[in-house]
Chains A and B, each alone.
Chain A
Amino acid sequence: MRGVSTVAIGSNHFVDCQTLITVRQHVLLRVATTPLRVSLTTPPDLPSGRSVQVVDNQVGPESHPEVLVVASDTSVAVFWGEAPLAIATLLDETTVSLRVDLRLIGISLFDDALGLHVGHNLFAGNQITNASTAVALG
């Protein structure tokens, strides 16, 4: 069961959003709480071929061998080798800080102090509540 949660990414706040980001209708990024779970699944036609298939902290068989998940009660990190792709940290029972950088796998999506960078676009200071999908790309 997915818990009520707020996910903060690059000055954006996603409240009770089942899916954070989709790419051409494929779920790219999800975070859920109670317990903390991260799903990061790249589209099947990803040009770089660096497939990441992590669902609820579990690495799927279609994932590239470089993909690794390290999880504890309060944090979940998805790595490409030694480089983090996504780090979710539970700030309190229902609030998650999420850092993401997918440039290493050939997707221009990352956050920094300015906001969430998606290609040449920037999402900053947004609050989205109760959306089945917060950001749909495609």
Chain B
Amino acid sequence: MSHPRLAAYLSLEREMLALDAAGDPLADQLRDAMDPLWYGLTDQEHARLDARVIMDVGGAAMTAPIGEGFFTAPLQAAALTPTSGPLSVRDWGCAA
């Protein structure tokens, strides 16, 4: 699922928060400039953004970059079961 406007909003928001944390007055101007983007989002996207809990991660114990492999296509449930072995049992039923 692609959310180009939402992704752009979040990207700008991160920059705005970083400026704000640094005490840069440009943060307020950036916040105002983001208004058209905010109003261009859907009601569902507004609801998701409003429901967030945002943390100040400046005090995080460990930080790590999100690499390309972090967000992936969802695994299918069946793939969680190892299938590399020689044994394959399907549609087996037993009642004692």
The residues of A with any CB-CB pair to B shorter than 8 Å are 17, 19, 22-27, 41, 43-51, 53, 60-62, 81-83, 101, 103-109, 118-121, 123, 126, 128, 131-138
Contacts and interface: CB of A to CB of B under 8 A. Distances in A.
B82 interface: no
A31 B56 CA distance: 18
22 contacts: A25-B54, A25-B57, A26-B53, A46-B1, A62-B44, A83-B77, A101-B80, A104-B74, A104-B77, A106-B74, A107-B70, A119-B66, A120-B67, A120-B69, A121-B67, A132-B55, A132-B56, A134-B61, A135-B60, A135-B61, A136-B62, A136-B63
B61 A50 contact: no
B17 A25 contact: yes
Contacts of B7: 45
Nearest to A82: B77
Contacts of A82: 77
Contact of B55 (A25, A43, A51): A25
Interface string B4-40: 0011001000100100000000000000000000000
